Structure 1
Amino acid sequence: MTKSPTVRQRRLGRELRRLREQAELTPEAAARPLGWSRSKLNRVENARITVTPSDVANACDLYRADFATKTELIQLCKDAAVRGWWTAYSDVFTGYYIALETEATTIHKWEPILIPGLLQSEEYAYEVIRAARPELTKAQLDRHVSARMTRKINLLGPGAPTLHALVDEAALRRPVGSPGLMARQLSDILQISDWPSITIQVLPAAVGAHSGMEGAFSVLGFGDEDPEVGYTECSSGDVYIEEADHVLRLTLRFERLRGVCLSPEKSAALIAAVRSSHDLP
């Protein structure tokens, strides 16, 4: 079973299910001639396991798909099998969030405690990971930081998705690491905030109670063809939110938070002011 279903795998599973339903075949009726169990067919359609191109070809023949559709899905299957950059860090990344994040076209992120990972400098990331994971050896810590920086390069480079990050003012003011580190981190954020694909807004402390107090979350978009996915992280593990109404709730929560955040321009001014306070002895 794959631990990192990509957007392509999810799309392939949905297309195979659509073709099966269009052919008016129940899961049991489809699984039998394919030589699959009912459980395997369900896992294929839900992108829980990978399939081979010959599996896809056989399913397309059974579902009476036309030649163009069959060819497209076989290629989609081959593309889905390509290893992503994140697999080189399988000892660091768990779950399949990074696989989804890498293929996203939009990322909406709320972070109430820390500078979001995609905006972290190397030295800030080092201090945060070291504090959160004191059991790591120096080599393991360096590897975690390397993975985070590679993730940042892939998602903030050419062809990157649009990133809209909402950050609590407390995350800007919390001192991390040695003197001067936070000032440098906030300088990095100010530089990145000028990029056309990035929007950064700060939730001021004066807002008081707000709809994001239950914790950080992300909503990943993949264009018109694929549904959005929500994500939250807690100490007991990752939670992926795929039900449309649940994703909508997260999206509405993001919009409510955005509405009480400072504008990007005023956010930049606040970040600059907080940076100056970190510069003080």
Structure 2
Amino acid sequence: MPKRYSTVRGREFGAGMRTAIAHSGMTARQIAAVMDWQEAKVSDMLTGRGGVTLMEVAMFLSVCRIPGAMRDHLLGLFPLLDVQGLWQLHGEHSPIWSRTAHAHVDVAKTLVSWDSHAIPLLLRTPEHMRAILAASPLVPANELDDRLRAFEELLQLRGSVHNCAFYLRESALRSQVGSLEEHLSQLHRIKHLAGEAGITIKVVPQAVGAPPGMAGPFTLLKFKEAAYAPMVWTETENSSLFNEDPSSVKGIETVVRGLDAVSLNPKESTRLITLLLAEEE
């Protein structure tokens, strides 16, 4: 029986199955006909709502003729589709393109992002991001342009989110990343975004030495689909965590309220950015 909800693991599985279908050169309807399935059964599988057995998944993948590593990954995910949350270990360095992050930002209704020491990811300009990537010993030089393209695609997806709130520290605004020209461009970009409908930017002033959220950056996502539970996305140098546990989400919501209590309001934040620009220009 298909579930009325889906987990991030289930959606990761569904995305992989869609890739398998594309690899086959057939449509979902054609594969359903080969399997003697109703199309609704394929749809439930692709949305991570279940309705299929492990044997049926293996048969479906055999029809798609996908590479063995991809097959093993999907078959390994399948028994754990009901487990909330997904911790992705990337090895030495993160992938160029995060299918999971892109897919969930794309369908988010609201987004709240905080970074304890830097400009939040989805506020960065491509030039700012290039400087950060170039400084990392874990980013191969020959991947820099591809990673920037993936980042710019993520920024485009963020543009479709109805309501975004960003919290950042004054120290992050003052820290020059890249050239002075790139630094000023980043400040101008944040000031411009602060004036856009659906975007709220609040700055934690320098005087707040230890604000809530010192443990590190996070992005809290809530979704248009009722079947998608709220989720907290966090990144490290070489791992990603997508956490749907209700208690964990509630904890992050408490951190957000704490940040809100110590931050400048949006007008004060914009005024501060204007003053910083005047100091630098």
**So what's the TM-score if we normalise by structure 2?**
0.68
Show the counterpart of 2:208.
207
Q: Which amino acid aligns with 2:250?
A: L
User: Where in structure 1 do 4 or more consecutive aligned residues deviate above 6 Å?
Assistant: 42-45, 57-60
- Please, what is the CA RMSD of the aligned residues? 3.3
Q: Which amino acid aligns with 1:120?
A: R
Q: Secondary structure at the match of 2:13?
A: coil
Q: 2:13 aligns with which of 49, 74, 79?
A: 49
Q: Secondary structure at the match of 2:274?
A: helix
Q: 1:128 to 1:224 in 2, by over 3 A?
A: same
Residue 111 of structure 1, CA deviation: 1.1
Higher relative contact order (CA 8 A, sep 6+): 2
Q: Which runs of 5+ in 2 are unaligned?
A: 18-27, 49-93
Residue 152 of structure 1, CA deviation: 1.0
Q: 2:144 aligns with which of 141, 145, 150?
A: 141
Show the counterpart of 2:168.
167
Whether the aligned pair in 2 keeps the contact of 1:229 and 1:247 (CA below 8 Å) is yes
Whether the aligned pair in 1 keeps the contact of 2:12 and 2:100 (CA below 8 Å) is no
Cα distance in 2 for partners of 1:91, 1:206 equals 37
Q: Which amino acid aligns with 1:231?
A: W
Q: Which amino acid aligns with 1:264?
A: P
Whether the aligned pair in 2 keeps the contact of 1:173 and 1:274 (CA below 8 Å) is yes
Q: Secondary structure at the match of 1:16?
A: coil
Q: 1:268 to 1:45 in 2, by over 3 A?
A: closer
Show the counterpart of 1:190.
191
Residue 78 of structure 1, CA deviation: 6.0
Residue 207 of structure 1, CA deviation: 1.5
Q: 1:250 aligns with which of 249, 252, 257?
A: 252
Q: Which amino acid aligns with 1:181?
A: E
- 1:127 paired to 2:127: no
Q: 1:190 to 1:77 in 2, by over 3 A?
A: same
Whether the aligned pair in 2 keeps the contact of 1:106 and 1:162 (CA below 8 Å) is yes
Q: 1:107 aligns with which of 99, 103, 111?
A: 111
Whether the aligned pair in 2 keeps the contact of 1:229 and 1:242 (CA below 8 Å) is yes
Residue 120 of structure 1, CA deviation: 1.4
Q: 2:3 aligns with which of 6, 17, 28?
A: 17
Whether the aligned pair in 2 keeps the contact of 1:16 and 1:45 (CA below 8 Å) is no
Aligned residue pairs, count: 220
Residue 79 of structure 1, CA deviation: 7.2
After superposition, the C-alpha distances for 1:60-116 in whole angstroms (9 at most, x for unaligned) are: 9xxxxxxxxx95x75565678xxxxxxxxx951246222111211111101122222
Show the counterpart of 1:93.
97
Show the counterpart of 1:277.
279
Whether the aligned pair in 2 keeps the contact of 1:175 and 1:182 (CA below 8 Å) is yes
Residue 44 of structure 1, CA deviation: 11
Q: 1:135 to 1:99 in 2, by over 3 A?
A: closer
**So what's the TM-score if we normalise by structure 1?**
0.68
Residue 125 of structure 1, CA deviation: 1.3
Residue 223 of structure 1, CA deviation: 3.4
Q: Which runs of 5+ in 1 are unaligned?
A: 1-14, 20-41, 61-69, 81-89
Show the counterpart of 2:82.
none
- 1:227 paired to 2:213: no
Q: Secondary structure at the match of 1:206?
A: coil
After superposition, the C-alpha distances for 1:113-140 in whole angstroms (9 at most, x for unaligned) are: 2222222112111111111246522x42
Residue 251 of structure 1, CA deviation: 1.1
Cα distance in 2 for partners of 1:171, 1:43 equals 34
Q: Secondary structure at the match of 1:96?
A: helix
Q: 1:43 to 1:144 in 2, by over 3 A?
A: closer
Q: 1:45 to 1:197 in 2, by over 3 A?
A: closer
